[in-house]
Amino acid sequence: MPVPEPRRGWALIRVRGFGLNRSEWFTRRGDSPTVKFPRVLGIECVGEIVDPGGLAAKPGSAVAAMMGGMGRQFDGSYAEYTLVPHECVFSLRTKLPWEKLAALPEMLQTTHGSLYTALEIGRAKSLLVRGGTSSIGMAALALAKKAGLRVGMTTRDPKKAAELTAAGADEVWIDHGALAEQITSGTGKPYDRVLELVGATTLLDSLRCVGRGGIVCMTGILGGSWVLDHFHPMGDVPTAVKLTSYSGEAADMTPAQLQNYVDLVETDKLEVKTGPVFKFEELIQAHTLMDENRAGGKIVVRGSDGT
């Protein structure tokens, strides 16, 4: 494909790395009900400005780009170059290597938006992350602990419990689908908030893991289902429990907030779990690993050496 033509209001970026996201997996499989298959996938990247298109950034400066229609309404980041509207672009000051930086933008944006915009954790004391060993789950643990919350994490694999405890989890729950009963008979204390990353397959149970005034936010679809069949709001949503979702945009995070998170990662004050790094030419292998759920963290693809 040709290099995109620069235009006003859009930044031309040389892609130095990008993270793989579950939404791209769904789109590739044809399971997404809301998006048209684009020519080039990829909803985030990091790289260097080639042509700012009027953006207040110098050519060669480091940027991150995310969301706003990338890989959906227009071509995304699975390429050597991408053309992105200014509202999706964040200038960054960092010495992190591209592979490390590439794991952060969408992961931090989604986690930040889920916790602060949807779940309003500033008013909460406890959080349950359902789907805890995912990249978003581990990032949520780090951000929530930094905010002073008691955090419970779930995993289907008992062998991963020690890893979650070592990462800072206050409680670890082995998730066989019926978690609410475990929680009420275990600690006896429902959580104030639940970040639902498994999705529709466990959502009804998650609604019973919070007390009155609690909030449940569905952000992920790790369980593979977009749709909740035979949903009965009066019976399925407990009294005074709030259900929301998060599929937000870049506007939910300010440039200063993203820069602050990057600074914390760079100074080892915020640990974000990352997974394997692949070459651009190994993109098929990277997706195969995501198919098999063997990543153990955010999968990153380095920009092509041929650019």
Share of the chain above pLDDT 90, in %: 74
What is the number of domains present in the chain? 2
User: In this structure, are 120 and 214 located in the same domain?
Assistant: yes
Same domain, 182 and 227: yes
Structure tokens at 67: 């969301």
Question: Residue 263 domain-assigned?
Answer: yes
Is 16 inside a domain boundary?
Answer: yes
Given a contact cutoff of 8 angstroms between Cβ atoms, the answer to whether 293 and 131 are in contact is no
Provide mean pLDDT across the span 78-88: 95
Would 148 be classed as within a structural domain?
Answer: yes
Question: What is the reported pLDDT for 24?
Answer: 84
Q: Are residues 116 and 232 in the same domain?
A: yes
pLDDT for 86: 96
Identify the domain boundary among 206, 221, 245: 245
User: Which residue has better confidence, 304 or 99?
Assistant: 99
**Do 241 and 259 have their domain in common?**
no
Residues 6+ apart with CB under 8 A from 100: 265, 274
Half-sphere exposure of 12 (CA within 13 A, CB side): 13
Same domain, 228 and 183: yes
Say if 4 falls within a structural domain. no
Whether the Cβ atoms of residue 303 and residue 14 lie closer than 8 Å to each other: yes
- Mean pLDDT computed over 146-158: 95
Question: For the ranges 20-24, 142-146, 221-225, 236-240, which has the lowest average pLDDT?
Answer: 221-225
Q: CA of 124: how far to CAs of 137, 147, 210, 263, in Å?
A: 18, 10, 11, 26
Single-letter amino acid code for the residue at 243: L
State whether 267 and 238 are in the same domain. no
Reference 34, options 284, 216, 228, 247; nearest CA is 247
Residues whose CB is less than 8 angstroms from the CB of residue 307 and which lie 6 or more positions away in sequence, other chains included: 14, 15, 80, 81
**For residue 76, pLDDT beyond 90:** yes
Alpha-carbon distance of 211 to 209, in angstroms, equals: 7
Of 199, 226, 245, the domain-final residue: 245
Residue 147 and residue 24 in one domain: no
In a domain, 2, yes or no: no
With a CB cutoff of 8 Å and minimum separation 6, the contacts of 120 are 193, 215
Task: In whole angstroms, give the CA distance from residue 196 to residue 206.
Answer: 7
The answer to whether residue 5 is domain-embedded is no
* CATH number of the CATH domain containing 175: 3.40.50.720
Q: Which one of 200, 217, 245 terminates a domain? A: 245
For 182-238, how does the pLDDT look when each residue is reduced to its tens digit (9 = 90+)?
Answer: 998 866 789 999 999 999 999 999 999 999 999 999 998 887 777 888 899 999 999
For residues 87 and 200, state if they share a domain.
no
User: Does residue 243 sit in helix, strand or coil?
Assistant: strand
Residue 34 structure tokens: 């809301």
Residue 180 maps to a domain: yes
Q: Do 139 and 57 form a contact (C-beta atoms < 8 A)?
A: no
DSSP string, 122-181: GG-SEEEEETTTSHHHHHHHHHHHHTT-EEEEEES-GGGHHHHHHTT-SEEEE-SS-HHH
Residue 49 sits in a domain of what CATH number?
Answer: 3.90.180.10
Residue 35 has pLDDT above 60, yes or no: no
Rounded to two decimals, the pTM is 0.90
Segment 50-64, tens digit of pLDDT: 999 999 999 999 999
Counting every residue written for the chain, the total comes to 307
pLDDT at 307: 44
CA distances (Å), 84 to each of 37, 62, 143, 193, in order? 18, 14, 28, 35
Indicate if 90 and 116 belong to the same structural domain.
no
- 127 and 230 together in one domain: yes
- What are the tens digits of pLDDT across the range 115-128? 999 999 999 999 99
Is the residue at 226 inside a domain?
Answer: yes
The reply to whether 37 and 126 lie within a common domain is: no
**Is 94 found in the same domain as 28?**
yes
Print the domain residue range for 238: 109-245
For residues 22 and 133, the model is more confident at 133
Residue 111 has pLDDT above 90, yes or no: yes
Average pLDDT score over the chain: 91
Mean per-residue pLDDT, 162-181: 93
What six digits make up the tokens of 256? Answer: 């200063």
